Structure 1
């Protein structure tokens, strides 16, 4: 295989349904996303670790439901009537734990979306009980919402995630690099994201192809270089 020197290429994240890697840790969440028309009360929460694929699955659902996707932190009460006219996904709900205005807006959006006969998807990291929502009416509605959870990855899925993240950055290292990373990295999606980003940066900075020796360098410095 010819060496691939680092090039400053755009990251092209593939977020179609066929690009999502299905494994035991996420199969139930995928099935529930695909069965969105039958969600109890026309709403669902998608939760899981950072980098687990929540945003990817949200885009899959949005394509199927012709829905809008917004960040919870951007919610304003005055925007609710317009947002509630169609299906909508609100990402990263725990980010508004200390934002009473956004919590109030989400409470009204929740009620209006359902009143309009539309469908609502909410995403966040961890269990709803730990989201830090302080508005009692909103918290009670979240606790009563159907929840799909993405679990931590097994080796097969984590390996596939590494390959996909590298592909998104148009990187094609030798085949021994991914198994080498898999044996030495933290067992999480977020670690995979950080390490691939660090590999890309080091390859560019050093004008070296991504090899096992470069991977070793990145892993040796991961406490500082992969944050």
Structure 2
């Protein structure tokens, strides 16, 4: 079955997969999201809410879930409200035709009456159709400031996970996992050097790894501290 057409400006990241996600303290959340994506997931809670600060991996997990469901041949859609809110509430029409709906950055539309009403009706349609809904936000449901009581009641029934930031040792393992998927060998020495000198967010660290991967391929060089210094001009 063809995937749902994503709105202009939205693209699933090729590297947003479950195998590329280093869970750290988020193993339980990862396991539950993976179970939602199974073909026989009717027994699983159909509304799951992931929240946490930027960089903890909620968008990664939502996109990975979409990719997993699409890969098995079913319909799934990823809608980050930070990008798609400008399209208006009609973007929520007919989403109950999807096996899985992933709504990211929901905090961007909460507090707006027309959006809260539209989300409430979408949640009902998805529930009645037996579909699964994954929600991502930067705050817990109680801290979102929802004005519509019915919507607040619906979200109160969600299975909620707060995603935790990775420790420095976990960040090193996450970098090494991503490097190995690219065919790169990232030693503890080089990884710790990058962590010491680079920006702290995982998105920035992965961008650095992407830059080093391309430079390594072009120069046919292994990743060493001197090579990293030269490429990144540190």
Structure 2 length normalisation: TM-score? 0.66
Asked if 1:60 is matched to 2:72, the reply is: no
Please name the residue that 1:69 is paired with.
78
Asked if 1:30 is matched to 2:30, the reply is: yes
Please name the residue that 1:152 is paired with.
165
CA shift, 1:183, in A, is 4.3
For the 8 Å contact 1:96–1:133, the answer to whether it is kept is: no
For the 8 Å contact 2:110–2:144, the answer to whether it is kept is: yes
CA shift, 1:144, in A, is 2.4
Asked if 1:17 is matched to 2:23, the reply is: no
Distance 1:192 1:58, change over 3 A: closer
CA shift, 1:121, in A, is 1.0
Matches of 2:209 and 2:20, distance apart in 1: 22
Asked if 1:182 is matched to 2:191, the reply is: no
The aligned runs of 1:97-136 (5 Å cut-off) are 97-136=110-149
Distance 1:99 1:156, change over 3 A: same
CA shift, 1:141, in A, is 1.7
- Give a deviation string over 1:9-56, Cα, whole Å, max 9, x none: xxx751223222233x1100111112222333x111122331222222
**Structure with bigger RCO (C-alpha 8 Å, 6+ apart):** 1
Distance 1:112 1:92, change over 3 A: same
Structure 1 length normalisation: TM-score? 0.68
- Give a deviation string over 1:130-173, Cα, whole Å, max 9, x none: 223333322222122111232121233211333466689x7969
Distance 1:34 1:100, change over 3 A: same
The aligned runs of 1:173-212 (5 Å cut-off) are 175=187, 176-183=189-196, 191-195=201-205, 197=207, 212=225
Partner secondary structure for residue 17 of structure 1: coil
Distance 1:177 1:100, change over 3 A: farther
Matches of 1:16 and 1:103, distance apart in 2: 30
Which of the residues 135, 155, 158 maps onto 1:142? Answer: 155
Please name the residue that 2:97 is paired with.
85
Matches of 2:34 and 2:209, distance apart in 1: 34
Matches of 1:81 and 1:199, distance apart in 2: 39
Matches of 1:53 and 1:183, distance apart in 2: 21
Partner secondary structure for residue 56 of structure 2: coil
